[in-house]
Amino acid sequence: MGIELEPPLIEIARHMARDAGVADRVTFIEGDFFTADISEATVVMLFLSSAVNARLESKLRAELRPGTRVISHQFPIGTWAPDAAIRPEPGGTDLFRWTIRPR
């Protein structure tokens, strides 16, 4: 599931999904992540700042189902300790991963 405020970026994402052969498994919508219903997502990928990630922490924990994976590019999410942090290549950008735990 992709949520984006800027329509041109949604079109780019849809094009990239088609090129990658995954268009049938992803959804992109124009909207505000803070007000969107994310409860059906199975993977959430964040390309946001550390400040915005911190503001999203409670929403992610409250709305996502157990087993949902959250990946953040470059920045952690508030005080939430990631399950894993990797740098895919030397000099690359960090990726952080969380899995929503049962409540």
Domains of the chain, earliest start first: 1-31 (no CATH), 38-103 (3.40.50.150)
pLDDT in tens, 11-22: 999 999 999 999
Rounded to whole angstroms, the Cα distance separating 63 from 76 reads 19
Rounded to whole angstroms, the Cα distance separating 41 from 25 reads 11
Q: How many helices (H) and strands (E) does the chain have?
A: 2, 6
Question: Which residue in this structure is represented by tokens 């390309």?
Answer: 47
89: pLDDT strictly greater than 90: no
pLDDT in tens, 23-79: 999 889 899 999 999 999 999 999 999 999 999 999 999 999 999 999 999 999 999
pTM listed for this prediction: 0.84
90: pLDDT strictly greater than 90: no
